[in-house]
Amino acid sequence: MKNNKLVAIDLFCGCGGFSYGFQQAGFDMVLGIDMWKDATVTYQHNFPNACVINDDITNISEDDILSRLGMNADDIDVIIGGPPCQGFSVSGKRMIDDPRNKLYKSFVGLVDQIRPKVFVMENVPGLIRLFGGKVKEQVLNDFSSLGYRVKVQQLSSDDYGVPQQRKRVFFVGVNAEKISKKNEFEFPKAEYGDGMKPYVTCKEAISDLDFVPDDVSLGENIAYKIPAQSEYQNLMRKGSHSIKNHSITIHKEQTKKIIAMVPDGGNYKDLPIELQNTRKVHIAWTRMNSEKPCFTIDTGHNHHFHYKENRVPTVRESARIQSFPDKFEFIGIKTSQLKQVGNAVPPLMARAIAKEVIKTIGDTR
């Protein structure tokens, strides 16, 4: 049965970044669905009270969800998720009719069947520019036709306290039958940047993790050895008694020598010309800038380096850059963990949106 918290379900939960931000804002995350087994194992580990379904969403119906939860459709306040966009780039077709967009279509279908008060769908920034904005308009039309007042905006995670420049597009729909226009949704205003709080830098995010040498792996459960050196580090450490997922990648000596030639905030262009085009150097080679938010954390991490150490970032360092707190533990082999981190919506970014969703829902329950 429903408790006093607002209830949300995540239809493409991944490891749980989007969900974690909503949970931090005060939502009860009761369900996560994803077809990637590794991600759902991590999700279940960090959301032990949630129902987790490891399956293709196209196999899941409204009845499946409600029966597993023991709830009625009216008990679900919000649906969130980021459906993959394989078919969004096919010219000349309505996006929802492209067979490769069955995941997006399932998201739309479940919103239609469950009729939550609000839905939040996130995606890549390029989505709103495809075909001169026609794809964006299709998404708006698909949800508007269901009776939702829909807004879309591109947000950057560093504006919300995430030490990373990561741009994502969010579509937020408000159920016109359940919420009046006086409770219109407004996207969260930036809190960091010019004239506001200074952006959180890479150094402020991970400098307390620097004690790990670049030639020895200390394991997966390490005691804190450096005091928190910033407000952000204190926030990330809250509720955690040790450092998990902090096993380093040990590179060959020659690789480390080349990485050492790239200065703080530099890239492959800082290398000697004879090295720039060799097989050992990839054009994407970039070192974090200790005094700025990080570039976008991806799912590979093979060519992005720590601002000071001559190695790629650990899973925990990448998680810090994404704003996952230290108590959030990633399960699986290291390459899987890195992919889980890289695919996630930064929790602090999600929390900022969730807070505005709460304001919109207000006292309509």
Taking the CB of residue 82, how many other CB atoms lie within 10 A of it? 25
Which tokens hold the place of 88? Answer: 């969004």
CB distance 193 to 159 below 8 Å: yes
| Alpha carbon distance 306, 314 (integer Å) | 9
Which tokens hold the place of 239? Answer: 């509720």
3 state DSSP class of 142: helix
265 sits in the region (left: phi over 0; alpha: psi -120 to 50; else beta) called left
- 51 a catalytic residue: no
Q: What angle do CA 89, 95, 98 make, to 5 degrees?
A: 90
* b/e map 176-215, b = 16+ CB within 10 Å: eebbeeebebeebebebeeeeeebbbbbbbbbbbbebebe
Burial class (CB in 10 A: 0-12, 13-18, 19+), 358: middle
Query: H/E element holding 305?
Result: strand 304-305
Q: What angle do CA 311, 339, 139 make, to 5 degrees?
A: 135
Q: Measure CA of the first residue to CA of the last residue in the chain; give whole Å.
A: 15
Where are the extended beta strands (E) located within 12-117?
28-34, 51-54, 78-81
CB distance 248 to 311 below 8 Å: yes
Q: Calculate Rg over the CA atoms of the chain.
A: 21
Q: What are phi and psi of 158, to 5 degrees?
A: -65, -20
Choose, from 15, 85, 202, 294, the residue flagged as catalytic: 85
Which residues are the active-site residues? 85
